[in-house]
Chain A
């Protein structure tokens, strides 16, 4: 392909990108209405005549276990062990691989992968089974009912054939529209705790390939010199210092002023060259404030009338609080947070006959196709994507602007569009690069009557909205309220009388994004801290007090109460903790999944807190892969607790203070001594597990530290008076 890029053309396409709604019509019933080739029985399962069964995974694998989970569904319906099913990632094609829960766009997020895939993949596996069985019946002249498929072998009486022998014949048969799905009582793979992960092998011998690992012939490396302040634009740059760096090729200013692309023969040369380039920036529209000023703005907002009402009215709640016997109040602050995936962002672009091939740990193929199409001015279908293993995401690899993929497209285009270009971010680029979990302030006033019962709950939140003004706003913003700011408060399963939730938007050029559990990453902390403080003010046990707000018998309340009881029971909640140990509890619903956690600590805020044990109970519907669920609970708990302990992105006159892991210190092996997960048996449809253990983890820790004597509600804890052992 050839292409030309002009400043005008780019600006036009960039604004087209920003304004496009990411909706592709698609219904679950169309899944099977696809042309069948000899190999592709449905979009989700491929059988070949050598007997190989491959699950085509429509959601990227960032560690959350989709490769294992989705192939489990295929293995189950094909009656074969999980380790006989190979995995391959789907190409970019929303017509076949769209996520119904994303309006048909192809992408992963919001813990939707299993929820969206459960019936689609089982149906695909069952259809393939019926086609193979039907082929055998036809070939052998026996009734379909006489044919069985198990462990890759088709049998009828004394006849048998390996599955591969029947593939060609089976592929001639129509795809059944409604194949019989196995009854849950017949499951041997779904719910089996001993199946292992499908991606363990390549991830333990170094052969798993990530975006960072792509080396194409003739490929060059690009890094970007970006503004040190958000909203700054490039005025000029001087690359003469880079000329002496061996391997440096050249530099190119990005036409929008977003930065300077630095090209080199290899990564090290690119980094050396970038260090040698100087640039002038225009900061007139940039964020030039320090963190204290940003925090002061948000704290002031929650102590004033809110701009938007998300639930109830301030006046009615004020009246309820007037009559309360006591009012407890607290303010909260949550800093900006980086996702800090272990693999920094990277993306490789190579020319094809008609467009480009993109190599990416791709979280959101539909958005990435749109981004490349807009920048390169080519049809979306000419943007092919090779989805690779992603070295973590926590939300970072999908942004509403397609930020790093747009950079990769620009790097490719500004180099002439003829040569493979690999865009590489460093850890410093990542820590300083934005798309943070926004900073938020909350202020809550809870009124209790003489019996300690809640009579009113005034809850105000301020922070930069994630969705407002972006392509998903029509789904996520109503009446001025960005759902990501309030989710987990106004929709709490607790029966809270007199609840008011008000929202004021923060305003800053700092780019923000969803971060593992999105709004729940801060709202659960506030809800569960206030419930704890209310229980304390009422002189009641924190578990019993919470349960008393979950008695209406609704499915949500029942499931929430169940996980709470289970975590309490398994943690020994009713027993007095060992001398010097303290416990805290929290429970929260997010993404349709219910998680309760009890954190047991030793020590105090002054002497140093050690996290001795986290006991977790989860209800995520049918437990497809119990061990993957346990792993995700462990992961989400570590993520929540690690950040609450000591992570923050702060600013001095607009510049990010942190640079790398030494000052954005990750959770370490010594930080949590043990995590124990218990799964509630359930027949409900499966929901996600990648995020829901994060929200209750930090408040459970905070409540344990409060039990030891210190209540901390501004995060991170280490910057607000809590020492850790």
Chain B
């Protein structure tokens, strides 16, 4: 069954049965591989994308739920907030293996878009669901604060 949606600004029609996770549509059909598969059960955040501007776990979002929606993946994240976040991530050398980082960044963009000056508690609360097996958390915390500074400047 064909479903129409917008991905990173492009109108696309995808042919996937109902119940197919958006994650696998993005990765296997649309070949946008920046969005990662880490757990498939909404407990790691590696698959985070934005649907109509809000971060969601694409592994637990089904194709039929995003008909007509605007989906943004890491490849299409190009707002001012997104560039501030990426800049901060680079400045603080946050990444290690990097596999969780698209999801971390998509969550951080969501946070700073809603709340440009989050407290440490707010950062931790918002980012809690994004696991990093390399334990880059200390730098994630600092980089979100740094991105907030960049945005303020």
Contact = CB atoms under 8 A, between A and B. Distances in A.
Contact of B40 (A341, A426, A627): A426
A79 B136 CA distance: 31
A661 B39 contact: yes
Given A204-B105, A205-B75, A634 B135 contact: yes
A457 B86 CA distance: 53
A342 B38 contact: yes
B50 to A, nearest CB: 13
A83 to B, nearest CB: 11
B44 A634 contact: no
A672 B75 contact: no
Interface in B22-56: 24, 27-29, 31-41, 43-44, 46
B100 A342 contact: yes
B101 interface: yes
A391 B98 contact: yes
B97 A638 contact: no
A672 B134 CA distance: 13
A273 B35 CA distance: 23
Given A203-B95, A215-B31, A342-B97, A631 B139 contact: yes
B21 A268 contact: yes
Interface stretch (A125-133, A194-202, A458-466, A494-502): A194-202
B96 interface: yes
Nearest to A627: B93
Nearest to B16: A268
B125 to A, nearest CB: 8
A389 interface: yes
- The majority secondary structure among interface residues of chain B is loop
B34 A427 contact: no
B140 interface: yes
A266 interface: yes
A392 B133 contact: yes
Contacts of B98: 63, 199, 202-203, 208, 389, 391
Interface string A48-69: 0000000000000111110000
A267 B139 contact: no
Contacts of B145: none
Nearest to B24: A268
Given A266-B28, A268-B20, A342-B44, A631 B127 contact: no
A638 B137 contact: yes
A266 B133 CA distance: 26
Contacts of A674: 138
A212 interface: yes
B35 A206 contact: yes
Contact of A200 (B93, B135, B138): B93
Contacts of A392: 96-97, 99, 133-134
A469 interface: no
A672 B135 CA distance: 10
A273 B83 CA distance: 41
A264 to B, nearest CB: 10
Interface of A: 61-65, 196-197, 199-210, 212-213, 215, 221, 246, 266-268, 340-344, 389-394, 426-427, 627-628, 631, 634-635, 637-639, 642, 660-662, 666-672, 674-675
20 contacts: A62-B97, A203-B98, A213-B27, A215-B33, A246-B17, A267-B24, A342-B44, A342-B133, A427-B44, A631-B96, A634-B138, A639-B135, A660-B43, A661-B43, A662-B43, A667-B131, A668-B131, A669-B127, A669-B130, A672-B138
Interface of B: 16-17, 20-21, 24, 27-29, 31-41, 43-44, 46, 73-75, 86, 89-91, 93-102, 105, 123-124, 127-128, 130-141
Given A210-B36, A210-B99, A267-B27, 17 more contacts: A63-B96, A196-B91, A196-B93, A199-B95, A201-B90, A203-B101, A213-B33, A215-B33, A342-B38, A342-B131, A342-B132, A391-B97, A631-B139, A637-B135, A666-B131, A667-B135, A674-B138
Q: Which 9 A-B pairs have the closest CB atoms?
A: A206-B34, A638-B135, A391-B99, A203-B98, A63-B96, A63-B97, A206-B74, A213-B33, A268-B24
